[in-house]
Structure 1
């Protein structure tokens, strides 16, 4: 009697590393905490003044005698002429300074030369660029945001808070091909309907195989179910964790903030007990990108980013990317989707892990809070980028008295 080997892919708990890249590709358990907790780290503030090139300046003269139009023009034009420009007096400010403009835009170096020349004039009280300021994204009121070191500008973080001044992912769709979705106050507003792509009825655990309900039915397993000697496992709710890292709702006074808190999550369920079939995952990639899958309705929300926090090797002696995977990924990228995959958690060369070793995939390794490679992460030339994945070893704690975890805080489910 021959046994057919079933290729299974398991969730790679490297979701933060993946989601760290999701934010750039778009240009991520509800709890409570007391405000003002002394154990919460302070959040670095961002500068509010631009240093962009400018053609407009503010000049304040010391005495009213030097404030006539002719004298002002003479003073400013003399400084501007050194840079091959002329000047124009535009108006007065409420405190008596003058707003003046050069005939051409000056870069930072030339602007500094102009200002130095003006400041050298004994009649000038001060001179400065009339810079443009922009609205800045305030830190969100989510109670666990101060613990989300992976989002901050400190060492090891991805500086997502600065990216929020440019975009928070509004209008973009991120497909999370994983264990499915659960009901969560910090996710529901950003969750699209999605699809359950598990074809096997017993693996799907909902009695009907593939269907439009992407609800995570749990990936728990009994002892010996996944392989000889395998342990009993509770459900991981991995898809919920990944979805929260990517797009947990911000400023709702709940839980955490996502990396791209205005993006929408397209949950596609492919992982059940013991993992998921390659054939289901490949179909999910095609469907998520807007491609046609037999027997499945068209996806009305094609994904800009397809997140694959999963991995495995189909043949240890030939770890090349399976053709089924490669064809699906090529089709998705041809439609304009960016495919991001976990490098893997085996402390091995990422070239042995699929889909990280496939072409047209951005493979992401994981780092800890110091920015160094996490001890569990895969590595090697197949890795394209490293992003926060966390490191929960006791020896990884930067400040043992801070009470701040070194893992990645995100949404979860309390069930087994």
Structure 2
């Protein structure tokens, strides 16, 4: 009797397992309880790991825009809608980025704000293009993103050609660098920015005396810096993010390297200041766009964002603008149909938090400003704003 009971129990468990396995995914409601249509927007960035502070900053920028739109009772055509954010962790990993992108496609999101990194944006963009989903990157600066010929791809900040050129010329003409060393992290962003910087610095009259490589996971740069020290450059340019830039600055300090450290937007963060501590003093870095405090909508955004989420790390204002221009394109189109939305996005003329946003035929800004800052007493202080050529 015991054996028979066991067989019956096993059969019941097996049947239940099959039933669960064959059950459809939980249904995501398409309407709110008060009859408004839910429009799901995807967001992708590293939400874990060494760049999580940047990814969360991006997420909060999109979230604040969505909160503002929902509070205003946003309509598309005659229909009241509620935007809902689906934020996914791509771990700053290209392979994970494609997994996240496919999830968005399968889940039917109406558009994607992201990805944060150039190295994740590139493979994900191909997935979105195949599926016809609109993508607006708030922070991926590789020129290749918009050079693929995808009419669904847009970007709301200056690219690496614009930023690298500005930094290369600034290093020579403003900082007086004649002999330059370069380190990049071999990512699409870091290497791409360093390549553009190198071309511009050489064109401006400088000599690149050494170029070294690391990774976006490294933390010990002693061997590379010791080698560079022997070459006696005037300036070291780093193409990479704050997770590597901060320990690099500290190790430069401990090795007694007095050369100027210069980087791009990847190290222009509050986290860099925190991690580098006293070694941050005097470091120069850029950020696409004009300083928030000088823009009409900048100070109000900064005050509201920081009251709700804490200090802006880097790209949150660009994420806010990306969501706003997306919503307005949907409103002008009278639909969330991506074919019509991307047509309206191409016509964007929007005075945002970060700049006046208008796109060229590739989906890049028609004009992008680059601002160069110096770290002083724990703050990024403006040195110069350069209009891109």
Q: Which has the higher strand share?
A: 2
Question: Which has the bigger relative contact order, CA under 8 A and spacing at least 6?
Answer: 1
Larger-gyration structure (1/2): 1
Q: Which has the higher helix share?
A: 2
What is the TM-score with the length of structure 2 in the denominator? 0.31
What is the TM-score with the length of structure 1 in the denominator? 0.29
